[in-house]
Structure 1
Amino acid sequence: MATINGANGVTDSRPIFFFDIDNCLYSKGCNIHDEMQKLINKFFVKHLDLTTEDAHMLHQKYYKEYGLAIEGLTRHHKIDPLEFNYEVDDALPLNEILKPDPKLRKLLESLDTTKVKPWLLTNAYVSHGKRVVKLLGVEDLFEGITYCDYGQLPLVCKPSQEMYAKAEKEAGAPSTESCYFVDDSHLNCKHAEARGWTVAHLVEAGTPIPRVPASRYLISSLHELPVHFPGIFKPQEVESV
């Protein structure tokens, strides 16, 4: 197994636990997704001169084809991704929606970081990702973030294998098989599982269970992670779940 040398010359062979951010670290009940959809559709209408209905249809088409609306915009309309980020993600009123989450913080603190490295993996741009974890009060509990770099074309994002390879490299994964991952996207989980990652698909209570499982593990809450992966959580925390 390959190992990574840390900044102090100390060998770091810890597995990586990748966490998705949106609709994963916070509940879909926050309705941030809905707010984002409105801003994305507004962007399509404004920059592509579409009707609201056509904007919605094209937005959904690009999301299904590429996993990210901005991917379709850059491929077919030469839209500047950073302009999109400014008018969509950075325009979200997150400070009015997200608050520090003590339960989430306790869960993340229960990860045994002598055995695993917590890392963020998002299709959002870095400014949005950092903003979310800061508002949730957990930004200090992750050792890094892999994001879709809107400043570099072509865009690299989940569920492409290139994005997962990028995440492994940036996080210093000892091997592909030493990666854990939790995400609310069926497509993202499916492709990560196919890569060889150990994947937990987050499907919140009240959301339809997929007919075809995306991965081996299916959870309705992040707080179920210690039950499935007790070896990377502190023993006392596992017992209290």
Structure 2
Amino acid sequence: MTIDNDPHDAYTRSTQAQVACNSRHLESLTHPGCQLCFPLTPPTSLPPPDPSLRVFFFDIDNCLYHASTRIHDQMQVSIERYFQHSLNLDPEAARALNHTYYREYGLAIRGLVMFHGINALEYNQLVDDSLPLQDILQPDPALRAMLLALKHSGAFDKLWLFTNAYKNHGARVVRLLGLGDIFDGMTYCDYSQTDTLVCKPHPDAFERARQQSGLADYANAWFIDDSGSNIAQGLHLGMGNCIHVVEDQVNEVLGATPEGAVVIRSIMDLPSVAPQLFKSE
């Protein structure tokens, strides 16, 4: 009998086992909002831009849930493990390279694809898909009620998810939170298209969200995100209202709050800073 002592193979097997566990849990959900009401694959043809359309764009991570859950920290550990095993780096070098790519490109995967030829979908499975989010995120009835009130107020024609994550992760988060039936669509960083891999704050990512949602004029958009750099880009493009979620203190890597943005500590503060959005027309 031979014993496989290859640490990379052991790493791959353990993460794939966790992915399978996560998938089984996701399919067992029964709470309200545990299923999506929109297709994960964008339509082959874009909707015609509607000059009167009003869209509220929502970031997902550290925005729909609190940064204090420390999911971001777990994700960084997972990313750095991937760097170590896939690029044969020691922990310190993996941490430094991850930080560099995140700061310069908004996502570690962009640097990995650009400079190391990494398979982005394999990366997604071994990193994002392997996070045991069900151990951290639970249905959030208060958030669900607030977003439903916003949806039914008539202030917007669409509530749209706009994330730098791949579609698997974005869908899993909103399903676990019980929000899958509230949003009208999702623009995500498409890891399957490595030749056009763009993410916030790149203006092409915003343009993709605008086109996929059917928005014609950025002035008719609201945007909420935990990244100051993303908020700055939204303001630069002319988004009507941009809201920066700063739970504790500004993350220097994500950028400071730009002038013109509204700052809140939690997404649950939306009704207090924009009460007009929750009055039925």
TM-score by length of 2: 0.76
Task: Identify if the C-alpha distance between structure 1 residues 194 and 12 changes in structure 2 by more than 3 Å, giving closer, same or farther.
Answer: closer
Aligned residue number for residue 226 of structure 1? 271
Please tell me whether residue 185 in structure 1 is matched to residue 230 in structure 2. no
Aligned residue number for residue 129 of structure 2? 90
What SS does structure 2 have at the residue aligned with 1:145? Answer: strand
- How big is each residue's C-alpha offset from its partner over 1:137-189, in whole Å with a ceiling of 9 and x where there is no partner? 01100000000000002301100000000000001113111111100011111
8 A contact 2:51–2:215 mirrored in 1:
no
Question: 2:164 aligned to 109, 114, 123, which one?
Answer: 123
State how far apart, in whole Å, the 1-side matches of 2:168 and 2:204 are: 21
8 A contact 1:14–1:115 mirrored in 2:
no
Question: 1:213 aligned to 250, 257, 276, which one?
Answer: 257
Alignment map for 1:66-215 (pairs within 5 Å): 66-113=105-152, 114-116=154-156, 117-154=158-195, 155-197=197-239, 198-204=241-247, 206-208=248-250, 213-214=257-258, 215=260
Task: Identify if the C-alpha distance between structure 1 residues 232 and 5 changes in structure 2 by more than 3 Å, giving closer, same or farther.
Answer: farther
Deviation of 1:209 (Å)? 8.3
Amino acid at match of 1:141: I
Task: Identify if the C-alpha distance between structure 1 residues 209 and 129 changes in structure 2 by more than 3 Å, giving closer, same or farther.
Answer: closer
8 A contact 1:157–1:163 mirrored in 2:
yes
Deviation of 1:95 (Å)? 1.1
What SS does structure 2 have at the residue aligned with 1:110? Answer: helix
Higher relative contact order (CA 8 A, sep 6+): 2
The worse-fitting range, judged by mean Cα deviation, of 112-121 and 195-204 is: 112-121
Aligned residue number for residue 239 of structure 1? none
Structure 2 gaps, min length 5? 1-46
CA RMSD across the alignment: 2.1
State how far apart, in whole Å, the 2-side matches of 1:191 and 1:175 are: 15
State how far apart, in whole Å, the 2-side matches of 1:192 and 1:115 are: 20
Percent identity among equivalent residues? 44
What SS does structure 1 have at the residue aligned with 2:139? Answer: coil
8 A contact 2:58–2:161 mirrored in 1:
yes
State how far apart, in whole Å, the 2-side matches of 1:136 and 1:159 are: 25
Task: Identify if the C-alpha distance between structure 1 residues 22 and 189 changes in structure 2 by more than 3 Å, giving closer, same or farther.
Answer: same
Structure 1 gaps, min length 5? 237-241
Deviation of 1:96 (Å)? 1.2
Deviation of 1:112 (Å)? 4.1
State how far apart, in whole Å, the 2-side matches of 1:17 and 1:212 are: 22
Amino acid at match of 1:99: Q
